[in-house]
Every structure is written in C-alpha cells, then in structure tokens.
Amino acid sequence: MSMPSNQKPRVVIVGSGFGGLEAAKKLACKNVDLTVIDRTNYHLFQPLLYQVATAALSPADIAAPVRAILSRCRNAEVILAEVQSVNVDAKKVKTVDMEIDYDYLILATGARHSYFGHDAWEKLAPGLKSLGDEFCRHWWWTDRC
C-alpha cells in the first residue's frame, strides 16, 4: 500500500476486550491514526466477574474506561458504537451512525458462550461474560432480567 509520506495509516480496532485493548496499547503513541470502536465504553476484566457476582468486588473494580486507558496518546480515538458491517473491498467499517475508513483493520470482537444447539441449558448454566450476565445471576435481580 503506497501512501503519501505525510499521511499516517489509519488503524481501526473493533473491540476493546483483552485482544483489542492490547493491540491499541501497542499502537497508541505510534505513527498511526488509531480508532477503537466498542459497544461499551469500558474494558471489563472478565476473570473477576465471579467476584462481582458473589459481591466480593463492585463492578467498578473490574471495569476501566477505555478512553482513560488510552488517554496519554493523542493519536487514539475511542468511539462508542456497535459495528454493523465491514466492507473489506472499500475498507470501511459501518456503524448505525457513521462509516469509518481504514487502512488496517483489527477485529477483536471477543467470544460468546455456546450451548451447542441446546439453548434450554442457558437457564441452568447462564454465561458470565458481561456485567449484564452477572447481574442476572443475583437472586434479587432475576425477575427483572
């Protein structure tokens, strides 16, 4: 890819979980224009979700704002949005409100639990991947979810 020497490559990272955030931290303050897109404005340290579920920690103890994590670098932009599609040929990421051009794309959207076609199992073994999942596990919250 040939670019004018005065133009920095634009890198878009979709997702601010472990993979996306680590890529963003490696590229932050480098000679690129960096955009991180995520549907939440925080990075969640999922290994400690069980401690939030058992009230040993508060959600704020395991969730850090992505903008704060990347705040030292002026080349990093964080966008709160849900990606709807990626046009690889046109090099565009589409959200509900905008299209974002990129030179390089990193898809780090994470994973979801699977019940392997047995969705009825979810009531017996709910996932623990987000703060929303965690709150639904509390007995006083169950009837609201």
* CA distances to 26, 72, 80, 104 from 91, in Å: 22, 28, 20, 8
Q: What is the pLDDT of residues 106-128, one digit of tens each?
A: 999 987 778 889 888 877 877 77
How far is residue 141's CA from residue 98's CA, in Å, rounded to a whole number?
A: 35
pLDDT at residue 136 greater than cutoff 70: no
**What is the mean pLDDT of the segment spanning 73-95?**
96
Higher pLDDT, 114 or 20: 20
DSSP state string for 107-136: E--------TT-GGGGGTS---SSHHHHHH
Show the domains of the chain with their CATH numbers. 10-112 (3.50.50.60)
Q: Looking at this protein, which amino acid is placed at residue 83?
A: V
Output the pTM of the full model: 0.77
Give residue 130's pLDDT: 65
